[in-house]
Amino acid sequence: MLKKIECFIQPFKLDAVKDALIDAGVEGISISEVQGFGRQRGYSEGEKPNKNVKFLPKIKLEIVVDEEILEMVTKQIVKLAATGKFGSGKIFVLPVEDAVRIRTKESGISAIT
Protein backbone atom coordinates (compact mmCIF):
# COMPACT_ATOMS: atom_id res chain seq x y z
CA MET A 1 0.00 0.00 0.00
CA LEU A 2 1.26 3.46 -0.84
CA LYS A 3 1.21 6.25 1.72
CA LYS A 4 1.99 9.90 1.32
CA ILE A 5 3.81 11.85 3.98
CA GLU A 6 3.31 15.57 3.99
CA CYS A 7 5.41 17.21 6.64
CA PHE A 8 6.29 20.72 7.70
CA ILE A 9 9.66 21.30 9.34
CA GLN A 10 12.02 24.12 10.27
CA PRO A 11 14.13 25.09 7.23
CA PHE A 12 17.44 24.55 9.03
CA LYS A 13 16.50 20.90 9.71
CA LEU A 14 16.06 20.05 6.04
CA ASP A 15 19.57 18.74 5.33
CA ALA A 16 19.62 16.35 8.27
CA VAL A 17 16.11 15.05 7.53
CA LYS A 18 16.83 14.63 3.82
CA ASP A 19 19.99 12.59 4.42
CA ALA A 20 18.29 10.32 6.93
CA LEU A 21 15.32 9.72 4.65
CA ILE A 22 17.53 8.73 1.75
CA ASP A 23 19.28 6.26 4.08
CA ALA A 24 15.87 4.93 5.13
CA GLY A 25 15.08 3.99 1.55
CA VAL A 26 13.02 6.96 0.37
CA GLU A 27 13.43 7.30 -3.40
CA GLY A 28 11.96 10.73 -3.96
CA ILE A 29 11.21 13.91 -2.04
CA SER A 30 9.62 17.13 -3.21
CA ILE A 31 10.04 20.26 -1.14
CA SER A 32 8.59 23.71 -1.16
CA GLU A 33 9.13 26.82 0.88
CA VAL A 34 5.90 27.62 2.62
CA GLN A 35 4.63 29.84 5.38
CA GLY A 36 2.34 28.78 8.14
CA PHE A 37 1.28 28.93 11.73
CA GLY A 38 0.12 26.39 14.27
CA ARG A 39 -1.25 26.34 17.77
CA GLN A 40 1.15 29.13 18.84
CA ARG A 41 -0.24 31.32 16.05
CA GLY A 42 3.34 32.09 15.02
CA TYR A 43 4.51 33.50 18.36
CA SER A 44 7.56 32.06 20.05
CA GLU A 45 7.89 31.46 23.79
CA GLY A 46 8.24 34.68 25.70
CA GLU A 47 6.62 36.75 22.97
CA LYS A 48 3.39 38.48 23.86
CA PRO A 49 0.74 37.47 21.33
CA ASN A 50 -1.76 39.97 20.04
CA LYS A 51 -4.84 39.15 17.95
CA ASN A 52 -2.89 38.78 14.65
CA VAL A 53 -1.37 35.49 13.60
CA LYS A 54 2.19 35.43 12.22
CA PHE A 55 3.10 33.23 9.23
CA LEU A 56 6.54 31.74 9.77
CA PRO A 57 8.73 30.17 7.07
CA LYS A 58 8.71 26.36 6.96
CA ILE A 59 9.77 23.67 4.53
CA LYS A 60 7.07 21.31 3.30
CA LEU A 61 8.22 17.83 2.27
CA GLU A 62 6.07 15.54 0.17
CA ILE A 63 7.13 11.92 0.10
CA VAL A 64 5.32 8.81 -1.20
CA VAL A 65 6.49 5.54 0.32
CA ASP A 66 5.51 1.91 0.58
CA GLU A 67 3.63 1.23 3.83
CA GLU A 68 6.46 -1.15 4.81
CA ILE A 69 8.92 1.69 5.44
CA LEU A 70 6.38 4.29 6.56
CA GLU A 71 6.95 3.92 10.27
CA MET A 72 10.72 4.04 9.94
CA VAL A 73 10.47 7.18 7.81
CA THR A 74 8.16 9.03 10.19
CA LYS A 75 10.35 8.04 13.13
CA GLN A 76 13.38 9.49 11.40
CA ILE A 77 11.56 12.74 10.69
CA VAL A 78 10.38 13.02 14.29
CA LYS A 79 13.90 12.36 15.53
CA LEU A 80 15.74 14.71 13.20
CA ALA A 81 13.26 17.56 12.81
CA ALA A 82 12.77 17.99 16.55
CA THR A 83 14.07 21.29 17.91
CA GLY A 84 12.77 20.90 21.44
CA LYS A 85 10.79 24.09 20.97
CA PHE A 86 7.38 25.09 19.66
CA GLY A 87 7.25 25.27 15.91
CA SER A 88 9.19 22.08 15.13
CA GLY A 89 6.51 21.11 12.64
CA LYS A 90 3.99 18.40 11.83
CA ILE A 91 3.73 15.17 9.91
CA PHE A 92 0.61 14.09 8.07
CA VAL A 93 0.15 10.59 6.62
CA LEU A 94 -2.32 10.13 3.78
CA PRO A 95 -3.44 7.03 1.90
CA VAL A 96 -2.49 7.00 -1.79
CA GLU A 97 -4.73 5.08 -4.14
CA ASP A 98 -2.30 4.75 -7.02
CA ALA A 99 0.83 6.16 -8.64
CA VAL A 100 2.13 6.12 -12.21
CA ARG A 101 5.66 6.70 -13.44
CA ILE A 102 5.07 8.69 -16.60
CA ARG A 103 8.08 7.48 -18.59
CA THR A 104 7.47 3.76 -18.17
CA LYS A 105 3.76 3.67 -17.26
CA GLU A 106 4.72 1.56 -14.24
CA SER A 107 2.05 1.88 -11.57
CA GLY A 108 1.61 1.27 -7.87
CA ILE A 109 4.68 0.50 -5.80
CA SER A 110 6.72 -0.04 -8.98
CA ALA A 111 6.18 3.61 -9.86
CA ILE A 112 8.04 4.81 -6.78
CA THR A 113 10.79 2.21 -6.40
Query: In the set 1, 34, 82, 94, which binds other proteins (CB under 8 A)?
Result: 1
In one-letter notation, the amino acid at residue 89 is: G
Shortest distance (Å) from residue 113 CB to other proteins: 8
Q: How far apart are CA 66 and CA 99, in angstroms?
A: 11
Shortest distance (Å) from residue 67 CB to other proteins: 10
- Give residues 90-109 in contact with other proteins (rule: CB under 8 A): 97-98, 101, 103-109
Q: What single-letter DSSP state applies at residue 84? A: S
Beta-bridge partner residues of 61: 7, 31
- Give residues 42-101 in contact with other proteins (rule: CB under 8 A): 97-98, 101
- Angle made by CA atoms 56, 59, 60, in degrees to the nearest 5: 115
Which residues contact other proteins (rule: CB under 8 A)?
1, 97-98, 101, 103-110, 113
